[in-house]
A and B are shown apart, each in its own frame.
Chain A
Amino acid sequence: MIFRTAGQFKTSYEADQALFPIKQDFYLVLGVLLLAYVVFPLTASEFAFKALLVPVLIYSLAALGLNILTGYCGQLSLGTAAFMGVGAYATYKFMSIFPEMNIFVAIFLSGFFSAAVGVAFGLPSLRIKGFYLAIATLAAQFFLVWLFEKWAWLYNYNASGAIEVSTSSVFGITVTGPTALPIVQYYCVLIVVTLVTWFAINLTRGRYGRMWKATRDMDIAAELVGIKLITAKLTAFAVSSYIVGIAGGLLVFFWKGAAEPNLFDIPLSFQILFIAIIGGLGSILGNYLGAILIVALPVVLNLLPNALGIPIDSATLEHLNVMIVGALIIAFLILEPHGLARFYAIIREKLILWPFPY
């Protein structure tokens, strides 16, 4: 009843190909946006911003980038964190060379650096596939993190070897640095994420999306319908690394405030990959669902025993978290390879037909 589509007729291809062909989808997204833009900022505490909302947004953006490469184009990558690092270090260099630069301009420009690096490390994909490609991207992971450590110019010859975010402001409002308010940073991240998500949706439903999906589903046939595999794969690497790079910039400048090279080590890559898998490969929505699950789980696990009065020490909780995430990944790979997003799709399909079974 809620999702009744009867009576919503389309009389033009424009209407049929609209972003929300069904009215209810539009209201749903509107509701989520209202929640994100109005309700959360009004109600959330500083802890909620720092530990839940901002990380969820940044992780889902990174997962979105990875999903374009792995979920849409079928090219497995284990170098996500390193590409995030490229974005972060490029933003840092922009901000230290041009201190007056608008931080958003710096972040969006840095995306081009990580896109270029992504394309360079994506070149092997023209020859190798699957696990072998994953190993090749692993090379990017180790090489780039090594570079972040050894190339002192990148962190302005700091004695600590870390990059630290200086205070910067946009339109007179402090957005980065220790004095920035969490709510301001949350809004900054939210706007960037909303914009990039919209771009990603448009890309994946258009010509490029079809090229990527065709490459994923059957690369030989894709070639024989006239799709250049080199273009399809390298654009996927470029777009993916661009988004991942932006996520890296946001991670350091709007959340962590400082970063050492080991932040961009392989555990972060795996975490992003898990978000994409649990959320659903080949879907945009899945990244958000996956990120919510992965970020919220440790927080909930931390609060739950106290609330229930069960004494568990924090080390055990940490282990428990790892175990649950591991079990979830195995469960998803076996039971629902398309992840949480697929659950949503099934529920939506059922709701459209409800109360009839089919």
Chain B
Amino acid sequence: MNAFVADKALSSANPSADEDREVLLNVENVSLSFGGVKAITDISFDILKGEIRAIIGPNGAGKTSMLNVINGFYHPQEGTITWQGKVRNKIKPHEAVSQGIARTFQNVALFKGMSTLDNIMAGRSTRMKANIFFQMIWYGAAMREEIEHRKRVEDIIDFLEIQAIRRTPVGKLPYGLQKRVELARALAMEPELLLLDEPMAGMNLEEKEDMSRFIVDVNQEFGTTIALIEHDMGVVMDLSDRVVVLDYGKKIADGRPEEVQANQNVIDAYLGVAH
């Protein structure tokens, strides 16, 4: 883990790099409530193109709700979301996918009855075009398309080192691998912005190291912007370029990992305040 962490520290030690980056996603004054329960109150932050942006906070802080707002699963009552410079209207999750936003889930949400390969191929459904009659005949357009997408999927399988479980139904895989397949499925969507909801929850140290490596590789090799929710502070502080901290649905801090770490509000939120 240490080698790439040092690498990362070097790249983020260069502050001027951030300033020329364009804003990929801008969240402005977003509020979301379910009846009387306020999940998110007046939150604003931005995600720059190419960065790893962490969203942290204690349980119930509204982190997952925030991701759900970003990918169109929840619709905020107030506030605007600007995606690639354009103000985004109310969209459906599948529209978010075609705009380039993919995500993984806190509780693994794979298609349990399908093989690893099929799960990842399902991530490319929106890109496949051959109509139902070509699909019926198979030979010709449907097969060409299938093979073309299979090649892309195989690249991702190689990248995430899951060749051996290609044909295994995902329901039979151990938890760590399921998380990896889920990442593969999200990558198959070739997203601009990848939302990772606790990618390392419930993993052992070795699996966490692997996952961290993959996240950094995805970010650096594919140039994918990543927004990540994670509870492991070591991982968050090492991986992310910038961190936004939520507590009770409000933003309490935003900045570089070392700034956030030193912020008194953040320390209070995590450790509590003496009364």
Binding site for B on A (CB under 8 A): 13-14, 17, 19, 199, 202-203, 206-208, 210-211, 213-214, 216-218, 220-228, 235, 239, 282
Contact = CB atoms under 8 A, between A and B. Distances in A.
B135 A208 contact: yes
Interface stretch (B6-14, B46-54, B110-118, B250-258): B110-118
Given A207-B146, A224-B109, 14 more contacts: A17-B143, A17-B146, A202-B136, A202-B142, A210-B125, A214-B125, A217-B114, A220-B109, A222-B122, A223-B93, A224-B97, A225-B123, A225-B126, A225-B186
Contacts of B112: 217-218
Interface in B78-113: 92-94, 97-98, 102-103, 105, 109-113
Contacts of A210: 114, 118, 121-122, 125
Given A223-B94, A224-B73, A202 B147 contact: no
B151 interface: yes
Contacts of A225: 97, 102, 122-123, 125-126, 185-186, 189
Contacts of A17: 143, 146-147, 150
B135 A214 contact: no
Nearest to B188: A225
Interface string B61-90: 000000000010100000000000000000
A13 B113 contact: no
Interface of B, secondary structure class, is helix
Nearest to A217: B111
A142 to B, nearest CB: 30
Nearest to B170: A217
Interface of B: 71, 73, 92-94, 97-98, 102-103, 105, 109-114, 118, 121-123, 125-126, 128, 130, 132, 135-138, 142-143, 145-147, 150-151, 154, 185-186, 189
A221, A227, A239, A282, most chain B CB atoms within 10 A: A221
B125 A207 contact: yes
Contacts of B113: 213, 216-217, 282
A203 B135 contact: yes
B123 to A, nearest CB: 5
A202 B185 contact: no
A203 B111 contact: no
B266 to A, nearest CB: 30
A213 B119 CA distance: 10
A316 B130 CA distance: 54
Contacts of A239: 132
B93 A224 contact: yes
Contacts, number: 106
Interface of A, secondary structure class, is helix
Contacts of A217: 110-114
A13 B111 contact: no
B135 A207 contact: yes
B98 A226 contact: yes
Contacts of B126: 225-227
A72 to B, nearest CB: 10
Nearest to B114: A213
A218 B119 CA distance: 11
Contacts of A282: 113
Contacts of B71: 224
Contact of B105 (A202, A221, A235): A221
B132 A14 contact: no
Contacts of A216: 111, 113
Contact of B122 (A199, A211, A220): A211
Contacts of A228: 94
A224 B103 contact: yes
B189 A203 contact: no
A307 B31 CA distance: 78
Contacts of A13: 146-147, 150-151, 154
Contact of B118 (A14, A19, A213): A213
Nearest to B123: A225
A13 B113 CA distance: 22
24 contacts: A13-B150, A17-B143, A202-B136, A202-B142, A203-B132, A203-B135, A207-B135, A207-B145, A208-B132, A213-B118, A214-B111, A217-B112, A218-B112, A220-B109, A221-B105, A223-B92, A224-B97, A224-B103, A225-B123, A225-B125, A225-B185, A225-B186, A227-B94, A227-B125
A281 B216 CA distance: 41
Nearest to A221: B109
Given A207-B125, A216-B113, A224-B103, A14 B143 contact: yes
A226 B114 contact: no
Nearest to B102: A225
Nearest to B111: A217
